[in-house]
Amino acid sequence: MEKIVLPRGEWLYDPSSPLGRPGGFGAVFEGVSTSYGQVAVKRLHITSNDAAHREMRIATDLASRTLTHVIPVLDAGEDADTGQYFVVMPRAERSLQSDIQAGRFSDVEAARVTLNIADGLLEVNDLVHRDLKPPNILLHEGAWKVADFGIARFVEDATSLRTLKDCLSPPYAAPEQFQFIHATSATDVYALGCIGYALLTGRPPFPGPTNPDYFDQHLHADPPALPNAVAPRLQTLLSMMLRKPPSSRPSLSRVKAILSEVVQSASGAGSNSVGILAQVGSDIARQQARIEQQLQQAQSEEATRDQLADTGRKILRDILERLFNRVLNEAPNARRDRLAVTLGRGRLEASLAGVGGHRRQSAAPAGLCRESKWDGCGYFRTTAKYS
């Protein structure tokens, strides 16, 4: 056992006795305390050299709260001797990951577990988890609770957003996380949708297996259809939660309300008409998600074309600058006027109207780009006049 000294006291942990596999932000080990008995001690993958401040805010954020569906934080901060950062939590019975590996959940069981997680996210709705996944959902005192809340926020504060790319859990990461966009509650909603999918199928929606594969799948691919036996209302909800644009996902409150309805409706048989309407709603939700995904991809492609057009304009302007400067060097009595140069009765003019080949620019002459493999084509027109 090794002793660590944190802001709230002394703790012992055994670095040779891990509890589960290491995660993106750290590894958890068996620990003990004279006050709390057996505990779990998480050693983070950062040191004081990486940190922008001396103590983790999650210690004061969470330790003083009464929480039902979030694993409480007993202590957190920098060890006085080693400079490493630790989080101390109560010892849980097992993680949700082990139950998923043991077999699929029924609709009602999956809805109840997902509802417990949503309750945990809502209990601390001023925080964003950023690394929600089955290994971070723990069974403690008979209830499923969210663990490691706030650690991703601390790591982001202590280092930088781009360093988080090595701490993502790709099977459960939202599209915006692969794009290094700051996470919001919608990010947790997406991850929760991935967890719900895993509960019902035994695996997350996208298989990877490499990080580039996950990047492409989360940003562009449709999740495989859930089994027909899954309640249509649950299918619809998960489809909405897995939408690519964060703004189009339901809020956590809406997720909780729908999950509550699914759990309550399971206690009594609904009419056939209600089942048909729910199935239709599920089909529409999938179609809407596909349309939004196509729209987002089109917007991304348009932004890329805009960047290419801007680059093309800069390159062509540079060409013209060098051309006009050459004329002025050879003929000092020539006069420069923006995109034109005049020498005596002669005038050379240039137009950039068609630069970029983008649909918002003037169209290139027919056939100009026929042999090109570029998405757009840039050109400029020069006119020589003599009067």
Catalytic residues: 131
Helices 252-265, 232-241: crossing angle, 10 deg rounding: 170
Do 139 and 26 form a contact (C-beta atoms < 8 A)?
no
What SS3 string covers 167-226?
CCCHHHCCHHHHCCCCCCHHHHHHHHHHHHHHHHHCCCCCCCCCHHHHHHHHHHCCCCCC
Q: Which helix (H) or strand (E) holds 101?
A: helix 96-102
Residues 6+ apart with CB under 8 A from 55: 7, 76, 77, 78
Say if residues 194 and 95 touch (Cβ distance below 8 Å): no
Alpha-carbon span 294 to 71, nearest angstrom:
39
Please give the structure tokens belonging to residue 127: 């925080």
> Sign of the C-alpha dihedral, residues 258, 263, 267, 273?
positive
Phi and psi at 317, nearest 5°, equal: -60, -40
Omega before residue 205 within 30° of 0, cis: no
The b-or-e profile of 27-44 (16+ CB within 10 A means b, else e) is bbbbbebeebeebbbbbb
Q: Is 362 exposed, middle or buried (0-12, 13-18, 19+ CB in 10 A)?
A: middle
Tokens read off for 174: 């939202």
41 and 11 Cβ atoms separated by less than 8 Å: yes
